[in-house]
């Protein structure tokens, strides 16, 4: 068993999972903030030079999972690990958001697809050399017919 402790909380305009954007790509206009616990504030030094940050967080509203799941963007059941569905064996989420600015222990961000009051696990800087592979083949996503920008979460992973 691996145990982590919340290092902060993510605040966003999405008060519940249903109706929320399903990825930052569908949430470009939404602003939110990451409230890091004051004891970790010093660790935010130098972060303001980055245009984007990687947020790792706990899908705290998710319980249970199915190894084959119908994603929001498709009508076919897919292997769970080929999806970004929140109901997973370990309920960990990852979102890359745009950094607007930092005030003390508060990080202002844009492009947030995360539900309000989600527990924060870690923050990492987004480094294109490590993280950007724009031409990478993306399986069923490439063939998908539904748009990430307009698709919103429904009840499938919340009931």
Binding positions for a copy of itself, rule: CB under 8 A: 1-7, 23-25, 40, 42-54, 56, 58, 67-68, 78-84, 88-90, 92, 94, 96, 119, 121-142, 148
Report the chain's C-alpha Rg in angstroms: 16
Distance of closest approach, residue 89 Cβ to a copy of itself, in angstroms:
5
Q: Report how far residue 27's alpha carbon sits from residue 96's, in angstroms, rounded to the nearest whole number.
A: 11
Q: Closest CB to a copy of itself among 96 and 158?
A: 96
Residue of 76, 67, 95 whose CA lies nearest to 144: 76
Tracing tokens 């222990």 back to the chain, one arrives at 105
Distance of closest approach, residue 97 Cβ to a copy of itself, in angstroms:
11
Task: Answer for the pair 53, 119: CB distance below 8 angstroms, yes or no.
Answer: no
Distance of closest approach, residue 159 Cβ to a copy of itself, in angstroms:
21
């Amino acid at each position: 068993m691996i145990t982590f402790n919340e290092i902060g909380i993510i605040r966003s305009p999405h008060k519940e999972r249903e109706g929320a954007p399903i990825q930052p790509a569908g949430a470009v206009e939404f602003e939110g903030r990451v409230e890091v616990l004051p004891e970790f504030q010093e660790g935010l030094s130098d972060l303001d030079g980055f245009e984007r940050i990687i947020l790792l967080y706990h899908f705290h509203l998710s319980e249970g999972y199915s190894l084959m799941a119908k994603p929001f963007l498709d009508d076919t059941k897919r292997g769970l690990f080929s999806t970004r569905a929140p109901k997973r064996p370990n309920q960990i989420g990852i979102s890359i958001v745009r950094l607007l600015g930092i005030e003390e222990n508060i990080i202002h961000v844009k492009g947030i697809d995360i539900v309000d009051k989600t527990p924060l696990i870690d923050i990492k800087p987004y480094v294109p050399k490590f993280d950007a592979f724009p031409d990478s083949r993306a399986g069923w996503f490439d063939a998908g017919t539904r748009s990430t920008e307009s698709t919103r979460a429904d009840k499938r992973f919340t009931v």
